[in-house]
Structure 1
Amino acid sequence: MVSPELAAGAAASVLSRGAHAVYLFNYFQSGNVGWSRPVYLKTLAAMASLDTLGPLPRSTAITYRDIVAPGESYTAPLPATGKELSLRLTAVPAGDARRPCEIRIEIASRTDGARTVPLVSANGRPCTFLKEEAADGARRIVWQAPSEAIGADGACTLRIASAAENP
């Protein structure tokens, strides 16, 4: 489901890349936690420009897409397995040291009960572990990225590495 933060993040992403407007498809507030009518209308109104989106909390989801152009080779970034994963994304607006940047990852719980916390870096700068919580059989883990980690262009490469011998 799309939250207000995900909607604002998606809008900021397309506007920062030169779009003149944001077209919404299937963004409904009913049935979504946090989408009261006033919040929904405020979010929609803010999508008019990057300036009005600026004060709103934003999230960038890393997921899959199911639309592939003819002849395009596409491999979904998630789900992922292995000891290390790199993901490239754009954080916008970029380089604002006044705004905290959190990395939130949900991973499957291990069957053997081991609970090592993965190591996360943003553009090569280590992120600080903040907290972990259980959620529907998975682990949700949060890190704080250094404010200077996101460059002026908003480009960010996240590196997630297992701290365990057997991830």
Structure 2
Amino acid sequence: MMITVQDLMSEQLFTLSPTDTVHEARETMLKNRIRHIPIVDDEGEFVGLVTKHDILDVSVSALAEIDNDTRDELESAIPLGEIMLTDITIAYAESSLLEAAKFMLEQKHGCLPVLQDGQLIGILTEADFVKLALHLMQRLDEIESGKV
């Protein structure tokens, strides 16, 4: 039995649109403790991705002598459409989880948006693999200690 991307992906998505701003992306990431935000258009089509790294690249340095309100104002003037990555490798729900893992590791990708019939249905992240590793280690522990 092949384990698929759909078996592990996160289905709880926090998306923004190209017209949303860097400030909104920063707030969404902080509030939801995430590092990747899929960008969708008005029809819900996946059009790009913004990562925590992208936000840091365009953020006003914390060393700059400006207050948070000024930083928020500057970041509110930058639409995500100007900074989002658009050449994004995607996965499909029925894709092999093993192949997705190999790809993410080899290409140093932190996530793969998951599409089905052109619609964004999930996201596969490094954190999903950490959760899987933790689960497998716990199961091994139970087997070794005779609890199973």
Larger Rg: 2
Q: TM-score surpassing 0.5?
A: no
TM-score by length of 2: 0.26
The structure in which a higher percent of residues are strand is 1
The structure in which a higher percent of residues are helix is 2
